[in-house]
Structure 1
């Protein structure tokens, strides 16, 4: 499990704000802390998909803390950094999804119906890996009529499958697995394939 507790550039436990965030983590047990961290990240950092245009620097937990807004990968990075700081083994999951509620502005940017490299987190809680997705904050979910994902530390929390009125929202198309360290080359490869017009570079930070 040592590799899932490591501190590094992307899952940085040494950012000057980390200690303040850790003071907000509630509960004494492993599961209670994991759940508390999930909600801190879900609602404490605004979801903004357009921040991916900042390239490699936007992948890190530091980016969330410096900007208070980010897309799914850096939000997952922050959840991982906080979890590891609490001695909860954590790793990054990546998948391709289709979002049926994408905005025209985002569609124009991506020019593709596939959202590649959508991030989730796996935390090792009470003897098993449990998945959660901290990307979409409650305020945003309320705005677009989506029930925010809840997390209890026991069951996976991944699927925004339907809006509150029953319309389809998100489909998972392909799960690329889990990573102890940020797979920058793999992320770069997929973004170049799906969004070549954006000229994103995730290889250097």
Structure 2
């Protein structure tokens, strides 16, 4: 990692507001002491389970993606949770970025399939952390309660290898396939993301806006 890349991955941004009081309070409560890897692992599990995953909280309004707002939300989907983890990592002095990929969800609910019209989840998000000289992926999306409810194997994170969705569920059924890596970003690419959501999921976007108006 170059010095420029490292500096960019540590700076607060409009969405990864790592300087904000809610983000720093979260770090103080959960990061603890020890190496960057040990603290990143604690932050990962705290973020995974502190904010329930719920696609009913999907939206494209910019305020939904500000990390300090995410920490105050009753629930969130994968993108805000990945942003919030990146913010807490940066606040703890750990370089972090936001990564995106398109994934095929073989176990999506009928209601979700009706809304999005496909089993592909475009622009699924995870956090990319720089630990022990390498970038590793951490996916804090599905909280433990969600996993138990839907019989999904929870994702663990050891700070050394990528933590991404399992290919199969506990019963051996196909679960997630990663079909396209969209790279990683120093801040949330909100305009691109919003445009992609309007293009791929017009019904879901319309429903989310109607829910909040």
TM-score (norm 1): 0.92
Residue in structure 2 matched with residue 29 of structure 1 by the alignment: 35
CA distance in 1, matches of 2:60, 2:95: 28
Task: Determine if the alignment matches structure 1 residue 7 to structure 2 residue 29.
Answer: no
Q: Of 129, 133, 139, which residue of structure 1 is paired with 2:139?
A: 133
What RMSD over aligned residues (CA atoms) do the two structures have, in Å? 1.6
Kept after mapping to 2: 8 A contact 1:80/1:91: yes
Query: Larger deviation: 74-83 or 190-199?
Result: 190-199
CA distance in 1: counterparts of 2:192 and 2:181, whole angstroms: 13
Q: TM-score, normalised by structure 2?
A: 0.88
Structure 1: gaps (5+ residues): none
- Residue 194 (1) aligns with residue 200 (2): yes
**Structure 2 matches for 1:140-159, cutoff 5 A?**
140-159=146-165
Task: Tell me the secondary structure at the aligned position of residue 158 of structure 2.
Answer: coil
Deviation at 1:97, TM superposition (A): 0.8
Secondary structure of the corresponding residue to residue 165 of structure 1: coil
Which 4+ residue blocks in structure 1 deviate beyond 3 angstroms? none
Unaligned runs of 5+ in 2: 1-5
Change (3 A) 1:179 1:54: closer
Q: State the aligned residue count.
A: 201
Q: Which moved more, 1:45-54 or 1:165-174?
A: 45-54
